[in-house]
Copies of this chain bind each other. A is one copy, B any other.
Amino acid sequence: MAARKAPTTTRRKAAPARARGGAKGRASASVPDLFQVLRGRIASQAIAPGAKLRETELAAEFGVPRTRIRDALAALEQRGLVVREPNRGAVVTRLDLSQVFHIYDLREALEGLAARLATERMPPEHWQKDVALFKGPMKDLIAQGDLDTYIEQYELLRLRIIEAAANPVLAEMLDIIYEKTQVLIRRIIILPGRAEIGRGQHLATLEAMRRGDAAEAERLRREGLRTAKATLEKYQRYVL
């Protein structure tokens, strides 16, 4: 996924001094907007790890004052997406080997908890269609090699589970490591046979959820993450 350096000309009006009058409510991007955009670029690797983020450059691209970019960068730094050295600027953090495994340990604990809570708080039949999805269509997607759609669907399931868990603090923490997991999932899933193994584990977890067996759902989810981590350790020199 080569990253075409944004030609996005964004020819905002030359004079940013005006605007803000009664006209449009949002002529320029707000700090949260900028945060989301930059976060997305980093998660999708549109901005490569190690790349420098120049404040002036970004300010020109988005047509906003530099201080606003600065605030967005501060938020990014808080999230650990970039590191800023004094007077040196902000660079996108590259995840090293050790951090990758640390994140998998975290996912095991957090997503296991999410599976348990979701099972406890939802009626078992709520997961019926998800079981069906993973039993049939998802298998076909893998067989056809359409991993992008598969990942997309899986992400939807993941979000539904988090929502069902109804724990904002948990959701926030999973959100913090979201970018990292995005990258890792795509690297692991291309390993030989891994996608199908993962699907089987998701299916088993979902069936436990449909039975209303929260403890078993948690155990299975954790087991799934653990094998994913093991796969990653085994093939680490190929994928990292």
Chain A residues with a Cβ under 8 A of chain B: 6, 71, 74-75, 78-80, 86, 99, 102-103, 105-106, 108-110, 112-113, 117, 167-170, 172-173, 176-177
Contact = CB atoms under 8 A, between A and B. Distances in A.
Given A80-B172, A109-B109, 19 more contacts: A74-B74, A74-B75, A78-B78, A78-B79, A99-B169, A102-B168, A102-B169, A105-B113, A105-B117, A105-B167, A106-B167, A106-B169, A108-B113, A109-B110, A109-B112, A110-B110, A169-B177, A173-B173, A173-B176
A139 to B, nearest CB: 31
Given A74-B74, A86-B6, A170 B113 contact: no
Nearest to A107: B169
Question: Which of A74, A103, A109 has the most chain B CB atoms closer than 10 A to its own CB?
Answer: A109
Chain A to chain B: the 8 pairs with minimum beta-carbon distance, closest first: A109-B109, A109-B113, A102-B167, A78-B78, A102-B169, A106-B169, A173-B173, A103-B169
A72 to B, nearest CB: 11
* Binding site secondary structure of chain A: helix
A170 B173 CA distance: 10
17 contacts: A71-B74, A74-B74, A74-B75, A78-B78, A78-B79, A102-B167, A102-B168, A102-B170, A105-B167, A105-B170, A106-B167, A106-B170, A108-B113, A109-B110, A109-B113, A110-B110, A173-B176
Nearest to A170: B106
A82 to B, nearest CB: 14
A113 B110 CA distance: 10
A86 to B, nearest CB: 7
Contacts of A78: 75, 78-79
A99 B78 CA distance: 22
Contact of A173 (B106, B108, B117): B106
Nearest to A80: B172
Nearest to A173: B173
Contact of A106 (B74, B105, B113, B177): B113
B168 A99 contact: yes
Contacts of A117: 105
